[in-house]
Amino acid sequence: GNSVTQMEGPVTLSEEAFLTINCTYTATGYPSLFWYVQYPGEGLQLLLKATKADDKGSNKGFEATYRKETTSFHLEKGSVQVSDSAVYFCAFDLNTGTASKLTFGTGTRLQVTL
């Protein structure tokens, strides 16, 4: 069935370190891919998205590239900050029109320390 697999957390990094959070998906069809971020005590916010192969989504220094051949959408940031501490969710949408819905991974908690 359709699913998203994310690397398990927590991921603990020092400030200014390089971040990679792996995400792979299994889906029928040609999904759109998303990264959402959840800060403590808050709802989900869209971080970035990509809708076709080789597209790169980017926002706030985060990037992810839609790799159809490896069914992956890994999240990267060159230099993390303490304020990036949050839970990150990879998700996809199968683009089935009005019946579209997001399928989420389990989330990866990132903790950035000084």
Partner 1 sequence: NAGVTQTPKFQVLKTGQSMTLQCAQDMNHNSMYWYRQDPGMGLRLIYYSASEGTTDKGEVPNGYNVSRLNKREFSLRLESAAPSQTSVYFCASRAANYGYTFGSGTRLTVV
Residues that bind partner 1 in the complex, under the rule CB under 8 A: 4, 32, 34, 36, 42-46, 49, 51, 89, 93, 95, 98-107
Angle at CA of residue 1, ends 48 and 29, nearest 5°: 55
CA-CA distance, 109 to 102, in Å (whole number)?
20
CB 113 within 8 A of CB 103: no
26/106 with CB nearer partner 1: 106
Please, which residue, 9 or 17, has the CB nearer to partner 1?
A: 9
Please say which residue, 5 or 17, places its beta carbon nearer to partner 1. 5
Q: How far is the CB of 94 from partner 1 (least distance, A)?
A: 11
Contact criterion met (CB below 8 Å) for 79 and 61 = yes
